[in-house]
Amino acid sequence: MNVDHLPTPNQGVRVNASSWQGGGKVASGIVASARQGVSCAIMGALGDDIFGKFCYKDFQRHNINVDNMILREGQFTMFNVILSDRETMGRSILGTGAGTAEPIRYEELNEDFLKNTKYFYIARFSDVVIKACHVAKQAGAKVFIDADNYSDSLMENIGLIDVFVASEFVYDALFQDKNFEENCKTIAAKGPSIVVFTFGEKGCVGYSEETGYFEIPAFSVDATDTLGAGDVFHGGYLAALVYGMDAKESARYASAVSAIKCTRIGGRSGIPTKEMVEKFLATGEIDYTELDQRVEFYKRGIHYV
């Protein structure tokens, strides 16, 4: 729900717009990749409640292979209420916890899919994810991580990561200075061939041996909602890599994908197609025709989406 400002106790505010959309780092990121025309598949588990079925159908709607998505009978999917406010351009999340749907177990993973992928896209490490990374990498895949939050397991397993795209929160947890070039190279020395740190409206910095160090400013747009901007950046970055762009070109492309997303409510309705991104990069113009159709679609009640 988008509001002008957050209410104080015993106060009401008018909702400017509301929308039912799926969320999650890899989940929304993979939708962004699919919107760029990349062939995608997703593995995981959801409850078979209305929220789980909604998420499942939304993957299908974006032509994402869901053969390895499990709907657990009688279990429930996490549901959040998110307030984005125009006053701060921030978002406040009212969460219901992790839901009751049991995460996917390793024996439920399809190793053939893991062995037949170019990039294996993750957001955190667990015993299941670590095992899956090894299988994928042994078959030639590159591990791409959306490192939104710092954890000990992130650094303990950094040698498994090929493309390290992290948030400013991870940067601040790792480093006490603003020597971005040196610090990117420090992470690259631990294993990743590409390192990128994102800083929201300040843009991003990165390094790869091919391109060297680079800084990419954020694009200026008439932002409505920053929810999911980081998730979508990652999905756009991964798609750019699939299309053969280098680390620096991919950062500029992903910045455009994320900027356009921010012009519409929620994490997914404003995700552009590859054609929209290319036009924006060439002219600075955004074609809202299809995006506004997406906004209208997600405005409908969840029973009809």
DSSP string, 275-300: HHHHHHHHHS----HHHHHHHHHHHS
Which residues on adjacent β-strands are paired with residue 205? 197, 215
Q: Where are the domains of the chain?
A: 2-294
The answer to whether the beta carbons of residues 257 and 233 sit under 8 Å apart is yes
Give per-residue pLDDT as tens, 283-304. Answer: 999 999 999 999 999 998 787 6
Average pLDDT, rounded, for the chain = 95
* pLDDT tens readout for residues 244-261: 999 999 999 999 999 999
What local confidence, expressed as pLDDT, does residue 238 receive?
98
Please state, in angstroms and rounded to a whole number, the distance separating the CA atoms of residues 38 and 23: 19
On whether the 2-294 domain is CATH 3.40.1190.20, my answer is: yes
**Per-residue DSSP letter, 194:** E
pLDDT given at position 53:
95
This model's pTM is above 0.85: yes
Structure tokens at 264: 């519409």
CB–CB of 253/237 below 8 Å?
yes
| pLDDT of 100 strictly over 90 | no
The whole-angstrom separation of Cα 265 and Cα 145 is 25
Q: How far is residue 43's CA from residue 92's CA, in Å, rounded to a whole number?
A: 28
Which residue type, as a one-letter code, is found at position 74? G
